[in-house]
Chain A
């Protein structure tokens, strides 16, 4: 029968490798001397060995493994594209806002020109050089604006030159000529415009903006605008004359 005070729990700890090394050494010696403990150990060892078969006793199906694999890899496959999408959306919103902010500047030339036309009409001195003679008006602008232009011959037409003045468009000096036709004042604005600046203005056609008829075109970097409340036909005619004179 039992001739030592070892209990099964200590023997199991020894086999589990959980005894401190000095105790384990003593236990090893003891098992060599004690048939009771040796028998106990052989049972525990054979149980341990058999229990090892419980490892991988149940194996998951390949399908289930794929399912979990997918679940475990979700952060990469799901969040990265979402993040990319979020950045793409932000970029689009940014691009739109830039376009939106830039837009008013592009339509500005027209409203600025319309303002100039109206303010000239409202002024008691609409022109700085009062002359119906194109040979007086044109030289007057020399040294006042950094470019030159021609005024068409008006004799025999319904148009009469009233005069001209220096105006500022886009912070640059330009010329405003005022013509009269049947009591309607028509402004012709001539100013320098950087290339690609005013895509909003269609070339040559007469358009209606705020009850004004407007014709606009560009010769190199000179922007011409004819604006007034006269008929579209009259605006077009004056525009054509101006255009021919400056080709």
Chain B
């Protein structure tokens, strides 16, 4: 597409992209670098962007891939691969926790956001795309370059993991 349209199409995504970037990097400076690089790459590749396809998914994918190749992203990726293997066993244990004990915690926004920030990056991003960006599974699959089935299973594991974290916290307000 003509780069002339880039500004009017890409700028409305600015706040969302920044928010995700900050959640992924956990740091303002890193988030700004990530967003800036994302816009630079998107502008460069904008001619190859097909009109009528999903610009939001396209830009989020650029941001996410840029993050994964960045310093913080590489570190996060290394820790995840181990984690995903051990995951299946954990799913079962999550169900042992009664919903009632989690409910109280899950109503506390700050506790939930703290838990979200502590999640491994692949869980954090898929939850953000689903719950915050309210993307469909299909869109998430596009952003993460994954089959839809993998999106569903990873999302489920991510939620269980978040639930676990809420359940293992003391019911009192978190002090971290």
A→B interface (CB under 8 Å): 2, 8-9, 12-13, 16, 18, 39-40, 42-44, 46-60, 64-65, 67-69, 71-76, 79
Task: Report how many A-B pairs have Cβ atoms within 8 Å.
Answer: 120
Which residues of A sit under 8 angstroms from B99, Cβ to Cβ? 39-40, 42-43
Q: How far is the CA of A59 from the CA of B32 in the complex (A)?
A: 11
Q: Which residue of A lies closest to B98 (CB)?
A: A39
Say what secondary structure dominates the interface of chain A: helix
- A58 in contact with B22 (CB, 8 Å): yes
Which residues of A sit under 8 angstroms from B131, Cβ to Cβ? 48, 51-52, 54
Which residues of A sit under 8 angstroms from B32, Cβ to Cβ? 60, 64
Binds A, one of B49-57, B64-72, B156-164: B156-164
Which residues of B sit under 8 angstroms from A52, Cβ to Cβ? 131-132
- Among B23, B94, B112, B128, the residue within 8 A (CB) of A50 is B112
Q: Which residue of B lies closest to A38 (CB)?
A: B99
Say what secondary structure dominates the interface of chain B: helix
- A68 in contact with B36 (CB, 8 Å): yes
Q: Which residue of B lies closest to A79 (CB)?
A: B3
Within 8 A of A (CB), among B110-126: 111-113, 116
Q: A12-B155, A43-B102, A54-B116 are in contact. Are A72 and B10 (CB under 8 A)?
A: yes
Q: A39-B100, A43-B99, A75-B4 are in contact. Are A56 and B109 (CB under 8 A)?
A: no
Give min CB distance, A13 to chain B, whole Å: 7
